[in-house]
Amino acid sequence: MDDLIIMLSPQHKKFADAYLEHMDATKAAELSGYKCKTRQALINKAHRLKNRPDIKQYINKVLKQQHIENMASIEETMSYLSSAMRGEEREEVVVVLKSGDRDGFSDEVETVDIKIKPKDRINAAKIIVDYYKEEKRTNQNKHEDGLKIVNDVPLENKKKVSDDAGNQTN
Protein backbone atom coordinates (compact mmCIF):
# COMPACT_ATOMS: atom_id res chain seq x y z
CA MET A 1 0.00 0.00 0.00
CA ASP A 2 2.95 2.36 0.58
CA ASP A 3 3.69 2.56 -3.14
CA LEU A 4 0.14 3.81 -3.73
CA ILE A 5 0.48 6.45 -1.03
CA ILE A 6 3.56 7.81 -2.77
CA MET A 7 1.71 7.96 -6.11
CA LEU A 8 -1.11 10.09 -4.65
CA SER A 9 -0.68 13.81 -4.11
CA PRO A 10 -1.27 14.90 -0.50
CA GLN A 11 -4.68 16.33 -1.46
CA HIS A 12 -5.67 13.17 -3.34
CA LYS A 13 -4.66 11.03 -0.37
CA LYS A 14 -6.63 13.33 1.95
CA PHE A 15 -9.66 12.94 -0.36
CA ALA A 16 -9.31 9.13 -0.47
CA ASP A 17 -8.94 8.86 3.32
CA ALA A 18 -11.95 11.15 3.86
CA TYR A 19 -13.93 9.06 1.39
CA LEU A 20 -13.00 5.87 3.25
CA GLU A 21 -14.13 7.45 6.51
CA HIS A 22 -17.45 8.87 5.30
CA MET A 23 -18.14 6.88 2.10
CA ASP A 24 -19.42 10.14 0.57
CA ALA A 25 -17.37 11.57 -2.30
CA THR A 26 -18.83 15.09 -2.06
CA LYS A 27 -18.17 15.31 1.67
CA ALA A 28 -14.67 13.91 1.11
CA ALA A 29 -14.00 16.59 -1.52
CA GLU A 30 -15.16 19.32 0.88
CA LEU A 31 -13.09 17.93 3.77
CA SER A 32 -9.97 17.60 1.62
CA GLY A 33 -10.09 21.27 0.61
CA TYR A 34 -11.58 21.25 -2.88
CA LYS A 35 -13.50 24.45 -3.61
CA CYS A 36 -15.98 24.98 -6.45
CA LYS A 37 -18.29 27.84 -7.35
CA THR A 38 -21.45 25.70 -7.26
CA ARG A 39 -22.58 22.62 -5.37
CA GLN A 40 -23.07 20.74 -8.64
CA ALA A 41 -19.50 21.54 -9.69
CA LEU A 42 -18.26 20.13 -6.36
CA ILE A 43 -20.35 16.97 -6.86
CA ASN A 44 -18.90 16.54 -10.38
CA LYS A 45 -15.36 17.10 -9.09
CA ALA A 46 -15.90 14.57 -6.30
CA HIS A 47 -17.21 12.01 -8.80
CA ARG A 48 -14.18 12.52 -11.07
CA LEU A 49 -11.79 12.21 -8.11
CA LYS A 50 -13.43 9.03 -6.85
CA ASN A 51 -13.13 7.47 -10.32
CA ARG A 52 -9.48 8.38 -10.91
CA PRO A 53 -7.63 5.07 -11.37
CA ASP A 54 -4.95 5.82 -8.76
CA ILE A 55 -7.46 6.97 -6.13
CA LYS A 56 -9.82 4.10 -6.93
CA GLN A 57 -6.95 1.62 -6.61
CA TYR A 58 -5.89 3.10 -3.25
CA ILE A 59 -9.49 2.99 -1.92
CA ASN A 60 -10.00 -0.61 -3.10
CA LYS A 61 -6.71 -1.74 -1.57
CA VAL A 62 -7.53 -0.15 1.80
CA LEU A 63 -11.04 -1.65 1.78
CA LYS A 64 -9.66 -5.09 0.92
CA GLN A 65 -7.08 -4.83 3.72
CA GLN A 66 -9.77 -3.80 6.22
CA HIS A 67 -11.92 -6.71 5.07
CA ILE A 68 -9.05 -9.18 5.56
CA GLU A 69 -8.24 -7.79 9.01
CA ASN A 70 -11.88 -8.00 10.14
CA MET A 71 -12.67 -11.44 8.74
CA ALA A 72 -12.60 -14.39 11.12
CA SER A 73 -10.06 -17.06 10.24
CA ILE A 74 -11.16 -20.67 9.73
CA GLU A 75 -9.33 -21.57 12.96
CA GLU A 76 -11.21 -18.89 14.90
CA THR A 77 -14.53 -19.97 13.39
CA MET A 78 -13.95 -23.67 14.08
CA SER A 79 -12.84 -22.88 17.64
CA TYR A 80 -16.05 -20.93 18.27
CA LEU A 81 -18.23 -23.65 16.72
CA SER A 82 -16.44 -26.29 18.81
CA SER A 83 -17.00 -24.37 22.04
CA ALA A 84 -20.66 -23.86 21.07
CA MET A 85 -21.03 -27.57 20.36
CA ARG A 86 -19.55 -28.39 23.79
CA GLY A 87 -22.02 -26.05 25.49
CA GLU A 88 -19.34 -23.59 26.58
CA GLU A 89 -20.99 -20.64 24.82
CA ARG A 90 -23.64 -18.64 26.63
CA GLU A 91 -26.33 -16.23 25.58
CA GLU A 92 -28.08 -13.38 27.37
CA VAL A 93 -31.80 -13.78 27.91
CA VAL A 94 -34.18 -11.14 29.26
CA VAL A 95 -36.50 -12.54 31.92
CA VAL A 96 -39.55 -10.82 33.41
CA LEU A 97 -40.16 -11.77 37.03
CA LYS A 98 -43.68 -11.19 38.31
CA SER A 99 -44.32 -10.93 42.00
CA GLY A 100 -47.08 -9.69 44.21
CA ASP A 101 -50.08 -10.52 46.26
CA ARG A 102 -53.77 -9.66 46.13
CA ASP A 103 -53.01 -5.96 46.60
CA GLY A 104 -51.01 -5.73 43.38
CA PHE A 105 -48.37 -7.18 41.15
CA SER A 106 -45.02 -5.88 40.06
CA ASP A 107 -42.77 -6.81 37.18
CA GLU A 108 -39.00 -6.94 37.41
CA VAL A 109 -36.86 -7.29 34.29
CA GLU A 110 -33.60 -9.14 34.64
CA THR A 111 -30.90 -10.28 32.22
CA VAL A 112 -29.68 -13.84 32.74
CA ASP A 113 -26.79 -15.74 31.12
CA ILE A 114 -27.77 -19.25 30.02
CA LYS A 115 -26.09 -22.00 28.04
CA ILE A 116 -27.07 -22.06 24.39
CA LYS A 117 -29.93 -24.35 23.43
CA PRO A 118 -29.31 -27.99 22.46
CA LYS A 119 -30.55 -27.32 18.90
CA ASP A 120 -27.86 -24.61 18.54
CA ARG A 121 -25.23 -27.04 19.82
CA ILE A 122 -26.43 -29.64 17.31
CA ASN A 123 -26.31 -27.07 14.48
CA ALA A 124 -22.72 -26.19 15.42
CA ALA A 125 -21.83 -29.89 15.33
CA LYS A 126 -23.48 -30.26 11.90
CA ILE A 127 -21.50 -27.32 10.52
CA ILE A 128 -18.25 -28.84 11.83
CA VAL A 129 -19.09 -32.26 10.33
CA ASP A 130 -20.01 -30.65 6.99
CA TYR A 131 -16.71 -28.77 6.97
CA TYR A 132 -14.70 -31.95 7.60
CA LYS A 133 -16.70 -33.89 4.99
CA GLU A 134 -15.92 -31.19 2.43
CA GLU A 135 -12.25 -31.20 3.45
CA LYS A 136 -12.10 -34.97 3.12
CA ARG A 137 -13.85 -34.85 -0.26
CA THR A 138 -11.51 -32.21 -1.68
CA ASN A 139 -8.37 -33.81 -0.24
CA GLN A 140 -9.37 -37.44 -0.80
CA ASN A 141 -6.24 -38.58 -2.62
CA LYS A 142 -3.81 -36.04 -1.21
CA HIS A 143 -1.35 -36.62 1.59
CA GLU A 144 0.65 -34.03 3.49
CA ASP A 145 3.89 -35.10 1.82
CA GLY A 146 2.30 -34.67 -1.62
CA LEU A 147 2.12 -38.46 -2.23
CA LYS A 148 -0.87 -39.64 -4.23
CA ILE A 149 -2.00 -43.24 -3.85
CA VAL A 150 -3.24 -44.79 -7.06
CA ASN A 151 -4.94 -48.16 -7.01
CA ASP A 152 -5.25 -48.82 -10.71
CA VAL A 153 -2.73 -51.62 -11.28
CA PRO A 154 -4.28 -54.25 -13.63
CA LEU A 155 -5.40 -57.44 -11.85
CA GLU A 156 -2.92 -59.73 -13.70
CA ASN A 157 -0.03 -57.50 -12.55
CA LYS A 158 -1.26 -57.57 -8.93
CA LYS A 159 -1.04 -61.38 -8.86
CA LYS A 160 2.46 -61.31 -10.33
CA VAL A 161 3.62 -58.66 -7.83
CA SER A 162 2.22 -60.63 -4.87
CA ASP A 163 3.84 -63.86 -6.19
CA ASP A 164 7.18 -62.08 -6.59
CA ALA A 165 6.92 -60.67 -3.08
CA GLY A 166 6.22 -64.15 -1.68
CA ASN A 167 9.27 -65.62 -3.49
CA GLN A 168 11.62 -62.95 -2.17
CA THR A 169 10.87 -63.69 1.49
CA ASN A 170 11.74 -67.43 1.12
CATH of the domain at 38: 1.10.10.1400
pLDDT exceeds cutoff 70 at 3: no
What is the tens place of the pLDDT at every residue in 11-21?
999 999 999 99
> Domain count of the chain?
1
d(CA 4, CA 25): 19
What is the tens place of the pLDDT at every residue in 24-61?
999 999 999 999 999 999 999 999 999 999 999 999 99
Which of 53, 57, 59 shows the shortest CA–CA distance to 15?
59
* Residue 9 structural domain: 2-70
Which of 138, 120, 139 shows the shortest CA–CA distance to 128?
120
pLDDT exceeds cutoff 50 at 64: yes
Q: How would residue 170 be classed by pLDDT, with cut points 50, 70 and 90?
A: very low
The lowest-confidence range among 27-41, 49-63, 74-88, 90-104 is 90-104
Provide the residue count of the chain: 170
Question: Is residue 149 one of the residues assigned to a domain?
Answer: no
Which residue type, as a one-letter code, is found at position 11?
Q
d(CA 129, CA 137): 12
Quote the mean pLDDT of the chain: 82
Question: Is residue 109 one of the residues assigned to a domain?
Answer: no
d(CA 24, CA 56): 14
Note the pTM of the prediction, 2 decimals.
0.46
